[in-house]
């Protein structure tokens, strides 16, 4: 089979979630609703944290960053998917596909690292409350967020640089609703051994290490909570990290479930449908989880509503 140079590939075809034309209006309506809810919910959360002085703490600083990343995360995939449905087109240019992958990897890794940073913040708050303000000072908080950005950007740049070296055959259909790294590597005609090795090594390093940090932090948190004598004290300590624990569980359970199920079924279409959980549903639910389970956020939102009403 002849190999074509990647620069000669004018476009790819995103097959989406379903090729049934009768389902397209339903999919469009559902996903544009989810996208608008995601953007609105996270913007409201960012606004609440920004204007309420009582929320000027490390925990809410990280939460505002997470909300911003979630907006960017969904914005890299859903607008293009909705545009293709509306125009009845499956086309995405080669440059558009590479650009989408680049930003998708940045924001997905950022999500993971911010969740890890937030778990460390809860660990310090519960296990070392007397030293919390000293340890979690503004300089460290800024460095943690900046470090997460640097790692995410460098990782994405490395992966995209390697993808740009690949050659592609005439088969350029992507059985997904966005350009995903693994799918792109599978479409390549040239040798992808190094790409696969780097991809799996990065997955272990960039997902395994933060996940191990989250599990360690919460093992220490649970241990500290169990040592509290009063039931009220235990409840108060747990309530400070309940929202974050819910978000962490939702994100990692859905994302790991996607890759484990896709590995078991070997179905790219099933993987695309399952990917909706962590790429769309999780960012949409995050602000609601924090709003419903966090009294500080709830009070801030009520104060915002009161100010707007006066």
Q: How far apart are CA 156 and CA 161, in angstroms?
A: 8
In 3D space, the residue among 141, 129, 1 whose CA is nearest the CA of residue 57 turns out to be: 141
Lowest-pLDDT choice from 173-177, 194-198, 295-299, 306-310: 306-310
Write the pLDDT tens digit of every residue in 46-104: 998 998 888 889 999 999 999 999 999 999 999 999 999 999 888 898 899 999 999 99
pLDDT confidence tier of residue 255, bands split at 50, 70 and 90: confident
For the chain, give every domain's residue range.
Answer: 6-309
Q: pTM here? A: 0.88
Write the pLDDT tens digit of every residue in 180-204: 888 888 888 888 889 989 988 888 8
- Ranges of beta strands (E only) in the chain are 11-14, 91-93, 173-174
CATH topology of domain 6-309: Rhopdopsin 7-helix transmembrane proteins (1.20.1070)
Say if strands 173-174 and 91-93 run parallel, antiparallel, or are unpaired.
unpaired
pLDDT confidence tier of residue 233, bands split at 50, 70 and 90: confident
Burial class, 88, CB count within 10 angstroms (exposed 0-12 / middle 13-18 / buried 19+) = exposed
Average pLDDT over residues 139-165: 95
Backbone angles phi, psi at 16, to 5 degrees: 75, -165
Q: How far apart are CA 74 and CA 107, in angstroms?
A: 9
Do 268 and 136 meet the contact criterion of CB atoms below 8 Å apart? no
């Amino acid at each position: 089979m002849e190999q074509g140079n990647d620069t000669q590939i004018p476009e790819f075809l995103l097959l989406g979630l379903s090729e049934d034309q009768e389902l397209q209006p339903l999919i469009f309506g559902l996903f544009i609703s989810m996208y608008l809810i995601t953007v609105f919910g996270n913007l409201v959360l960012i606004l609440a944290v920004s204007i309420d002085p009582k929320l000027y703490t490390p925990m809410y600083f990280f939460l505002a960053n997470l909300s911003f990343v979630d907006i960017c995360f969904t914005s890299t995939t859903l607008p293009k998917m909705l545009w293709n449905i509306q125009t009845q087109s499956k086309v995405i240019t080669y440059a558009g596909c590479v650009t989408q992958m680049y930003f998708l990897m940045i924001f997905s890794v950022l999500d993971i690292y911010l969740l890890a940073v937030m778990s460390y913040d809860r660990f310090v708050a519960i296990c070392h409350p007397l030293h919390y303000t000293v340890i979690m000072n503004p300089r460290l908080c800024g460095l943690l967020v900046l470090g997460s950005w640097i790692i995410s950007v460098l990782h994405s740049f490395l992966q995209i640089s390697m993808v740009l070296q690949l050659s592609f055959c005439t088969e350029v259909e992507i059985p997904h609703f966005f350009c995903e790294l693994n799918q792109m590597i599978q479409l390549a005609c040239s040798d992808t051994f190094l790409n696969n090795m780097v991809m799996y090594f990065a997955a272990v390093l960039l997902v395994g290490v933060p996940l191990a940090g989250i599990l360690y932090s919460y093992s220490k948190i649970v241990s500290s909570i169990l040592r509290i004598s009063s039931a009220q004290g235990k409840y108060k300590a747990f309530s400070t990290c309940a929202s974050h624990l819910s978000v962490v569980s939702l994100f990692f359970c859905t994302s790991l479930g996607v890759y484990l199920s896709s590995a078991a079924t070997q179905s790219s279409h099933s993987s695309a449908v399952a990917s909706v959980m962590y790429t769309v549903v999780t960012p949409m639910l995050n602000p609601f989880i924090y709003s419903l389970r966090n009294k500080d956020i709830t009070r801030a939102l009520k104060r915002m509503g009161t100010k707007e009403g006066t």
